[in-house]
Amino acid sequence: MSRMTIRWRLTLWYGAVLAAVLTIFAATVDLLMIRVIQYRTDSNLDGQLAVIEDQIGRAENADVLRERLAWQFAIHPVFEMQVTEDGDRAWLRSERIAESGLPMPAVAPDDHGEYVHEDVSVPGLGHCRMLSKSIDTPYASLLVQVALDTEMNERHLGQLRDVFLSTGPILLLAALGCGYLLAWKALSPVEKLAAEAQQITATRLDRRLATPNPDDELGRLARTLNGMIARLERSFGEIQRFTADAAHELRSPLAALRSEAEVTLMTDREPAEYRRTLESMLEEIEHLTRLTTNLLYLCREDALVKPSFEDLRLDVLVQDVTEHMRAVAAEAGQRLVLKEPIAACVVYGDSDQLRRLLLNLIDNAVKYTPADGEIRVGLEFRQDRATLVVEDTGIGIAAEHIPHIFKRFYRIDSARPRKSSATGLGLSICQAVAKSHHGAIELKSEPGVGTRVICTFPARAVEPGRRDEAATAAALQA
């Protein structure tokens, strides 16, 4: 069944449902016809019995009654009638049952005018519908029975069933054919959609599926597929740009390493010159190491590698990282200040990732803040949100660059001093860390004034007791 096409499965389901409906319809009509015919037969028997009962009521004596009943029997040959006294002595019978008589009722009617209808088999006549009633008269206790042959009724029912049996299969076959055509008509747009989708490859992601009626089911499916193709096109574009940027960033230090090595090997040099060349090459190698580390981190983020989340004291982590970076800022002639008070709060996050985020922000501030500048780090907690702020008095960023500042390998301009250790991935990593912690990151800057980076995370207040001791230890894990 699963190997059948949807068209055939729809056709078979349609045929099965229609066959069930036709069967139920035929059975219902058959039962209704049986009830209607039986009701009409019983009504005729009731009418005839009422006539006989009227004759019995008006007869002055038994002889007159016999005479009137004989006359009634003669003018209604369709009915088989029988009158017996005390249920065994026959008074009068119709001509066709003069010898066999009508059978006694299975349940004798009582003396209170009860009517008993039943189906009986009469010798020489076949199946009959019979009505029995007891009538007390001044001269005898009579059992009056009237029967009607049901052969005609059965013949009519048989003809009706023959019509159902002969036309039912024809209607079912015709319905299956119509169902197959309807399924083919309904599914033809799907086949057209599939053919168009097959033509969209990785190199032709600019194409879209046609949506003649965007409001019907196929139109919604086409719009959904078009949306998916658009997302794939953006993702492919980002991957291509990322690959090109990464190749460019890797090629530059490799070319520098090669040039330095070739120039150095062209002539014999003093040991001090070899040492300077090796130090320069080591600096480029360190840059390559940082670049590949950052690329590896972003690749893991793109691959949705699950980080190790746990409760950790963000205030302790901020103090620890700031203390470590204080020496770096001092070496650059800057002041790194931890704004007091630091709000004590706990976030559910990855210690390594949050540490990397704060290190990147402070490192950026150190790189682009002149000597004698100041870098301030603060942490606030309000309404279940922790707000981490890193601000500096550096060279700042022009407004037109801020919307693109979190893009990978984004370069602001050639006039901006480029640090040898910059990889162009630091802020991209910060944004990825913030998103993975269900937080947000925002950058505000003004050229010549400084830059302010604000990160917010879901957090809770530190609870008294020993519960947050593990969170404190987690924050200090390096």
Tens digits of per-residue pLDDT, 38-85?
A: 999 999 999 988 988 888 888 777 788 888 888 878 877 888 888 888
Question: DSSP readout, 69-127?
Answer: HHHHHHH-TTEEEEEEETTTEEEEE-GGGTTT-PPPPSS---TT---EEEEEEETTTEE
Gap between the Cα atoms of 446 and 393, Å rounded:
10
User: Between helices 217-266 and 151-198, what is the axis angle to 10°?
Assistant: 20
CA 133 from centre of chain: 68
Task: Specify whether the CB–CB gap between 434 and 440 falls below 8 A.
Answer: yes
Residue 242's Cβ-side half-sphere holds a number of Cα atoms within 13 Å equal to 17
Can the peptide bond before residue 341 be classed as cis, meaning omega within 30 degrees of 0? yes
Gap between the Cα atoms of 474 and 472, Å rounded:
5
Query: How much is the pLDDT for 123?
Result: 85
pLDDT tens track for 270-315: 888 888 888 888 888 887 887 788 777 777 776 666 678 888 899 9
Please list the alpha-helical segments (H only) found in 267-333: 271-302, 314-331
Residue 383 class from Cβ within 10 Å (0-12 exposed, 13-18 middle, 19+ buried)?
exposed
User: What is the pTM for the complete model shown?
Assistant: 0.53
Query: How much is the pLDDT for 414?
Result: 47
Gap between the Cα atoms of 230 and 232, Å rounded:
5
pLDDT tens track for 333-343: 999 999 988 88
The model's confidence at residue 477, banded by pLDDT at 50, 70 and 90, is low
pLDDT tens track for 372-425: 999 999 999 998 999 999 999 999 999 989 998 888 777 775 444 445 556 678
- Mean pLDDT on 231-246: 82
Please list the alpha-helical segments (H only) found in 121-216: 151-198
